Every structure is written in C-alpha cells, then in structure tokens.
C-alpha cells in the first residue's frame, strides 16, 4: 500500500497565524533587518532592548510584555517564582504533575556552563518521599537525535523535604545516563536537576508524566552521544547544539552567560555597554533553520508509521519542499469507534478498526476515514438457546428449540464479550417429540349417562422436566359408574342436635359413586345419605358414672350418658362422649368443713362445702369456703398466762441459758378446738440452766527419759532402791542406788463452749505425765557393774492410759 499525506497543519497554522513580530533595527546601524518569527519568542526583546532597538507589535506593547515564555527558554519571571514558593500553584501542576521551579541561582552546576531546560517523561511510577532511584526518557524533540532520545534514559535520585501547607518540596538529581538496549551507563560531569512540589496526601507521580530538568544540557547530549558511539545504530544526524527550536526548527536557542535566551542570528553582533560607547552595527549573517510548520504528516500504511516532515528556513523564509526528518510515529488500531462487520450468509463476523498515531503533543490523529475490516479477528456466529422459549407445533406433535444468533467478540480490554445478532429463531436441527399423559388431568364425569371420560394432555421433556403444552381433553377411553355403600360412615346427628330436647335423633346409612381406574377404585362423589336405611339414637349411662354437670346457683347437678345407635345385625356404635342426662337430677347439700379465723378481730367464720349423694358416694361439688352470709362466731377468753417464745439468749460471758417469754391472753377460737394467744408484752425470761459444754482434748502421746551417770554423781529422779553390798567380807553393808527413768506424756486442753458456739473464758492447757518406768543402775549381786540403758536394749516407756489422763484432769480441777 502506498503512502498518503495526512493533514496535521491545524495546530501549526494557528501558531503561525499569531501576531508576527517585526523587529526593526534603526538608529546608528543605518539599515534594518526584518525577521519574521512566532509570537512565542517574545523573550528575544531583551536582546533587542540591550542594543537600543525599537519593538513594535501589531498589538499594544503592554500586552507583549505580559506574553508568557512558553518555550521555556528562560527561567520563570520573579512573580511566578514567588507564587510557586508560596504554594499558590493552581490545577494539577501544583499538586499531581511535577513541574520544575528553576531559579537561575539554583540551576548553575559546579561548572560555569549556562543552564538549559528540557522536558522529560517518567519511565516508572515515582513514590515521592522515599530516597529511590528513578528513570526518565527525553521527550523534548529539540534535544539531540531521535535515536538518542529513544535509546538513552536519565537516572536520578529523589530527595524530599518537610511538607509546607500540604505540599512536599522535592528534587531529583539526574547524575547518570543509561542505554535501554545494552544497560551501558555513564556518569554526567554536571548533574541536571528537577525541582517540584507535590501534594502530601497523594505523593505519587505516575509513569509517562512530564517534568522539566535544568542544567548542562549540552554536556548531557555530548555524554549521550559518546555512550552511543559504540553502537552502529546511532543516528548519523549531526548535532551542533543540545537544543533546537520547538517543532523541529533548526534555529538553535542557547543561553547567554546570564541564563537569558539568545538567537544565533545575533551571535556576531557586539553588544556594547550603552553607558560607555555607542553600539556599532555588525555584519548580519543568514539564519538557516529547519521547521515542521506548514508540513503535512506523511502516512506510510505499509510501513505502519506516520512520518514527521520538515523544510529548510533561510532567514525565516521556507526553502524547498517538505521531506521526512526521521521522526516517526507508529500507527495503532482503534476498535472503539467501529462496529463489527456481520455476514449472516456465512455466519461470520469481523472486527473493524481505524488506524491512528499519537503526535508529539500526545494527541491521537486518526488516519482512516472509514472503518477497515480486520481479517484476522473473525468470529463464528452461532445459535444460543439459553434465553429462548420453545416453539410448539401441535399439528405435527413436535417442539422446536429456538436460539439467538450470537458471536463472541473481544473488546478493547481483550475480554470476551457476547454480541447478539438476532432475536430468538427456530433451530431446525433441534426437535423434540410431544408425549401424551394423564398427569394433571382428571376424568370428565357424565352422571346422567353413568360414565366418566379419561382426559390427557401433551408435553415434552426439557432438562429432565416435563413441560406441558396443551389443556386436558377427552382421550376416548371411558369408565362406568359404581355405587359403593360400604365405604362411607353413617350419617348421625351432631352433639348439639343430640343435646336439644327436640333435636334430631335419626341415623342414616350413606353411599358414594366410584369408577375403576387401573384396577383401583376412585371415588368421584362424596358420601350421601341413603333414605332407605335409618335408625334412632338412644342414651346409655354406662361408663358415665363419674361425670356430672353442676349448677351452683340453682343448687342442682345432673348425671351423664352416651348417645348410641345400632343397625340390625351390626355392632353398637357410640355417637358421643358422656353428655348431660337431664333425667339424672341430684339436689345440692351443705355441710361445715372447717373455719376461717380472724385473730385480729377475735372472730371465726364457718367454711361450708357443697356435695351431692350419688349412687356410689358423696361427691363434693364445691370445696369448703366461707360463703356469703356465713355467721360470725366470737372467740372465748380463757386466761392470762406466760408463753415461751422459743428465743434463747445468754448473759454476757455467762453459760446461763435464758429463754424469752411473753405475757398473753389466751382465747378459744370459734371452732371450739384451737386457741389464739394475744401477746400483751414481754414477761420475765425463763432460766434454762447451763448452756455450756466442757470439752477436754488430748494431743498425741510423747516421751521423756533420764539416765543416771556411771560415776558417783547420781541423783534421785524417779526413786531409789537398796541392796546388800557383799564386796567386803569383813564388812557387809546396806547400799542405796537410783533408777534410770522414762515417762509417757500428753498435752491436754480444756475448752468451755456455749451452745451457740461461743467459747467462754480462756482455753486451758496442761501436761499429763505417767508414773515413771524404773531401770536398776547397780547390779545388786555385782555392784561394781553399772547397767546403762543399752544393757536393757534401749529405752522403753510406760503406758499413759485414759484413766491416767482423767486423773490428771481431776487433779487440775478440770472436772
């Protein structure tokens, strides 16, 4: 497919149709130079004013001085800088889109090279507030070559300060460049810098957002071209300066030493100091530049690109025609504004699209005037029965499935989307036969003719479910009527009717009409009375002997009986439970059954119960109670006396047990049996004797012992004994010695506790000691031999009996 020109002149023409600036050089120069340029370059007036050149616009000069520097060739005016520092920036640029604040003083690097400003685009999303490495691509078309801008990216580090009025002051130092194809990198001799403020609540810059960087742009281009010099793919377009005019113009805009813009057309003019000498006119040179203004975008459909064209300018005048300048925009497809192409004959559908490209201003430019068929995105059209009902053909007893013609298409987000082509239509290849059934139908009865007609209807099966398509109609099959007299209950009077004196007492036999369906009897009528078979109900009191109906106000009760009936040759039938029999009348009788006493009023009332005499027993009709009109019976005084209250008390610290007494008047109540004591007040307390119990408790037995020494220093601890000493035959003498001793002991405690649990007095303690057990020390027949306890095999102890302990307690006066 050949190339075609697509007009992209609208924006360019609007720029060129702006008020043209006529710069007239006058005075001592002696001749003038007329240069045509866009109104956006009004900053050039500063150079002209330095030469004493006169400006004249086709609009008032006051308006020209307010014209913004939209080429960004200089730093913002002081008023703009102050506004930015005060946080008054408006729109998304102050809060979300990062914009450089480039004061002249801060954009000077460590070198004396003048600072330039260029536009970048973030490669990745940037989280401001974190010292992180970020990358950006050069989007300014005036910087370097297209190949360089596509291949080289800047690498920088984000730094942020403290928030001020909701905005975070931040900066990025672009100190490194890196190739995207080989990952080769290089450090910049002079880092570029971006300064901006961003919202504290949304401190994120999205990828592809724009930002300006200032600094040594020439040095950046030199380093980038050097980094690309090892690759044969580097474009051979010569780069004489880091920056070209916007839109591809070749008129180079550099900065003067003070950071202000200068045009190369004036680079050879000597600008003297107006206070020292009169400026001399220098020889003017031709200004050769390149511009895209007036040049169409050349669309190459086969190559899939839109080519930017430009033409040569000499002193602002076009020279020659437009030709591609190497800047290409890839063509893309847009399906959003196009409808799919549908062919029902082939049951196919194709997606369609329009081609477009995105220009350097970020605007979509559509290439095709009409939608183009995408032969690769073809979809099969098929019938889908999900939302359609069936079509019923009762003539041929067939059901046809119906479906919508649809196809599955991909939308712009690559998700499958179902497209409906037609509504529900018959699917000839999908049929279902109709079937006859009795389900849901009942026979049609003809009682005059004595027959019933079978009825059926038609259905088809869908998903295991029966779908009915017709009403019930006669099938031609009939059933004869049969009278059944055994399947019905007898028709008897109701309980209400039986209870009435003139009520109905007649019982009838009943019958119904049935038909035989599949050998099963089916009733087609309800049971109805048969006048030819009837009997009369009667009463029977048997089994109702304990059922009575009482009427207290009339002083009567009635017995009860069941209603029954009986047909000849059949068992007796009970019609009702026990109902009142007015022939069984019982008169109420009254008797006293206790009294209700009013001790406060000192009177009694008799309680009476109502009863009847039945054939079996006396039956209480109403329980004993004081009835209306009962006679009042006063109490009878008997005597004044003292009555114990049962309340026990003790005098403080005493074991004397006392009981409270009241002084009362005793009355005999109206029943003649029970008495009532009317308390007049407290009486003298009654002494109940000793209310304490003495408890003597003993601890466990323990032992004590004493062993006499083996020398002469013995002592009488538990007794002595005498023996005859035969050791001196000339002098036989009586000798005395003392026993070794052991005892058994126990500690006793005496506690006096009152019946209410209080301990009276102190708890006494003492130790009870048994009589000693004695061990001989000197052997009588051999006094020289001293028996120690070990001779006895160790200590042994006497028994401390309960009698011994009782004696101790008596001795101590505990009992």
Please list, residue by residue across 793-802, b when 16 or more beta carbons sit within 10 angstroms of its beta carbon and e when fewer do. Answer: eeeebbebee
As given in the structure block, the two tokens for residue 89 are 């920036």
Identify the pLDDT of residue 31.
32
Average pLDDT value for the chain: 78
Identify the pLDDT of residue 276.
43
Nearest partner of 294 among 11, 510, 666, 587, judged by Cα: 11
* Length reported for the chain: 815
Nearest partner of 507 among 576, 569, 575, 571, judged by Cα: 575
Identify the pLDDT of residue 417.
84
For the residues 282-308, what does the mean pLDDT come to?
A: 81
Identify the pLDDT of residue 799.
96
Whether this prediction's pTM lies above 0.85 is answered by no
Identity of the highest mean pLDDT range in 66-80, 341-355, 489-503: 341-355
As given in the structure block, the two tokens for residue 77 are 């005016």
Q: Which of residues 730 and 135 earns the better pLDDT score?
A: 135
Identify the pLDDT of residue 115.
61
Q: What are phi and psi of 516, to 5 degrees?
A: -100, 115
Residue 35 in contact with residue 25, Cβ under 8 Å?
no
Among 222-236, 430-444, 472-486, 681-695, which is the least confidently predicted range?
A: 222-236
Of the chain, the percentage scoring pLDDT greater than 90 comes to: 44
Residue 530 in contact with residue 545, Cβ under 8 Å?
no
Nearest partner of 785 among 717, 721, 748, 737, judged by Cα: 737
Is a pLDDT exceeding 90 seen at residue 698?
A: yes
Among 86-95, 105-114, 221-230, 747-756, which is the least confidently predicted range?
A: 86-95
Distances in Å between the alpha carbon of 256 and those of 46, 145, 261, 264, 603? Answer: 12, 23, 6, 11, 133
Identify the pLDDT of residue 205.
85
Residue 474 in contact with residue 444, Cβ under 8 Å?
yes
Nearest partner of 606 among 637, 627, 582, judged by Cα: 627
Is a pLDDT exceeding 50 seen at residue 30?
A: no
Where does the pLDDT of residue 404 fall: very low under 50, low under 70, confident under 90, or very high at 90 and above?
very high
Identify the pLDDT of residue 413.
56
Identify the pLDDT of residue 163.
86
Among 31-35, 524-528, 724-728, which is the least confidently predicted range?
A: 31-35
Identify the pLDDT of residue 631.
92
Where does the pLDDT of residue 409 fall: very low under 50, low under 70, confident under 90, or very high at 90 and above?
confident
Q: Can you spell out the DSSP letters for 140-183?
A: -TTBS-HHHHHHEEEEEEEEE---BTTEEEEEEEEEEEEETTT-
Among 425-429, 530-534, 624-628, 718-722, which is the least confidently predicted range?
A: 425-429
Where does the pLDDT of residue 412 fall: very low under 50, low under 70, confident under 90, or very high at 90 and above?
low
Tally Cβ neighbours within 10 Å of residue 596: 15
């Amino acid at each position: 497919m050949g190339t075609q020109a697509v007009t992209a002149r609208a924006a360019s023409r609007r720029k060129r149709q702006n008020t043209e600036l006529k710069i007239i050089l006058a005075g001592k120069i002696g001749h003038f130079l007329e240069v045509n340029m866009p109104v956006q370059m009004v900053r050039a007036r500063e150079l002209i004013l330095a030469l004493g050149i006169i400006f004249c616009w086709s609009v008032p000069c006051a308006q020209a001085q307010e014209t913004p520097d939209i080429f960004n060739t200089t730093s913002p005016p002081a008023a703009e800088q102050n506004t930015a520092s005060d946080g008054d920036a408006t729109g998304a640029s102050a809060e979300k889109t990062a914009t450089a604040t480039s004061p002249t003083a801060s954009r000077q690097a460590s070198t004396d090279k003048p600072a330039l400003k260029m536009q970048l685009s973030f490669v990745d999303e940037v989280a401001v507030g974190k010292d992180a490495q970020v990358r950006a691509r050069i989007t300014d078309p005036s910087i370097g070559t297209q190949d360089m801008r596509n291949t080289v990216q800047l690498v920088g580090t984000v730094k942020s300060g403290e928030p001020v009025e909701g905005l975070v002051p931040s900066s990025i130092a672009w100190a490194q460049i890196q190739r995207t194809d080989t990952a080769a990198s290089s450090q910049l001799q002079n880092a570029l810098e971006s300064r901006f403020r961003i919202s504290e609540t949304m401190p994120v810059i999205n990828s592809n957002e724009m930002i300006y960087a200032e600094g040594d742009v020439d040095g950046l281009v030199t380093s980038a071209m050097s980094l690309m010099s090892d690759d044969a793919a580097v474009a051979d377009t010569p780069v004489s300066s880091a920056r070209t005019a916007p839109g591809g113009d070749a008129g180079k805009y550099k900065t003067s030493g003070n950071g202000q813009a200068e045009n190369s057309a004036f680079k050879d003019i000597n600008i003297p100091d107006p206070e020292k000498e009169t400026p001399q006119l220098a020889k003017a040179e031709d200004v050769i530049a390149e511009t895209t203004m007036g040049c169409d975008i050349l669309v190459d459909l086969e190559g899939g690109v839109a080519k930017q064209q430009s033409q040569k300018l000499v002193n602002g005048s076009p020279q020659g025609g437009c030709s591609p300048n190497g800047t290409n925009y890839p063509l893309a497809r847009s399906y959003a504004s196009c409808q799919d192409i549908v062919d029902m004959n082939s049951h196919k559908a194709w997606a369609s699209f329009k081609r477009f490209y995105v220009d350097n201003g970020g605007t979509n430019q559509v290439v095709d005037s009409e939608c183009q068929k995408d032969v690769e995105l073809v979809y099969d059209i098929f019938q889908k029965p999900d939302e359609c009902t069936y079509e019923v053909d009762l003539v041929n007893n067939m059901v046809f499935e119906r479906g919508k013609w649809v196809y599955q298409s991909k939308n712009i987000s690559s998700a499958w989307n179902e497209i409906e082509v037609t509504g529900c239509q018959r699917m000839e290849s999908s049929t279902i036969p109709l079937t006859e059934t009795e389900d849901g139908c009942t026979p049609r009865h003809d009682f005059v003719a004595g027959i019933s007609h079978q009825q059926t209807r038609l259905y088809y099966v869908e998903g295991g479910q029966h779908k009915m398509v017709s009403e019930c109609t006669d099938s031609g099959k009939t059933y004869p009527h049969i009278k059944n007299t055994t399947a019905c209950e007898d028709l008897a009077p109701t309980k209400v009717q039986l209870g009435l004196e003139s009520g109905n007492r007649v019982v009838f036999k009943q019958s119904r009409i049935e038909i035989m369906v599949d050998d099963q009897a089916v009733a087609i009528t309800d049971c109805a009375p048969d006048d030819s078979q009837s009997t009369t109900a009667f009463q029977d009191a048997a089994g109702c002997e304990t059922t009575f109906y009482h009427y207290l106000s009339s002083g009567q009760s009635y017995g009860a009986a069941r209603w029954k009936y009986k047909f000849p040759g059949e068992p007796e039938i009970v019609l009702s439970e026990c109902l009142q029999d007015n022939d069984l009348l019982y008169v109420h009788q009254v008797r006293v059954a206790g009294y209700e006493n009013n001790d406060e009023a000192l009177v009694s009332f008799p309680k009476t119960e109502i009863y009847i005499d039945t054939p079996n027993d006396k039956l209480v009709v109403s329980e004993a109670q004081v009835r209306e009109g009962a006679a009042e019976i006063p109490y009878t005084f008997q005597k004044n006396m003292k009555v114990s209250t049962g309340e026990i008390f003790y005098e403080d610290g005493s074991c004397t047990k006392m009981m409270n007494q009241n002084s009362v008047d005793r009355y005999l109540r109206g029943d003649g049996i029970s008495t009532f004591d009317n308390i007049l007040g407290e009486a003298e307390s009654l002494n109940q004797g000793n209310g304490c119990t003495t408890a003597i408790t003993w601890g466990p037995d323990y032992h004590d012992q004493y062993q006499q020494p083996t020398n002469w220093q013995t002592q009488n601890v538990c007794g002595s004994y005498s023996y005859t000493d035969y050791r001196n035959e000339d002098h036989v003498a009586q000798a005395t010695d003392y026993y070794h001793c052991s005892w058994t002991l126990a500690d006793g405690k005496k506690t006096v506790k009152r019946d209410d649990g209080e301990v009276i007095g102190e708890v006494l303690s003492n130790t009870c000691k048994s009589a000693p057990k004695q061990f001989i020390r000197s052997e009588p027949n051999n006094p020289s031999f001293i028996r120690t306890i070990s001779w006895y095999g160790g200590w042994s102890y006497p028994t401390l009996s309960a009698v011994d302990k009782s004696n101790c307690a008596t001795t101590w006066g505990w009992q």
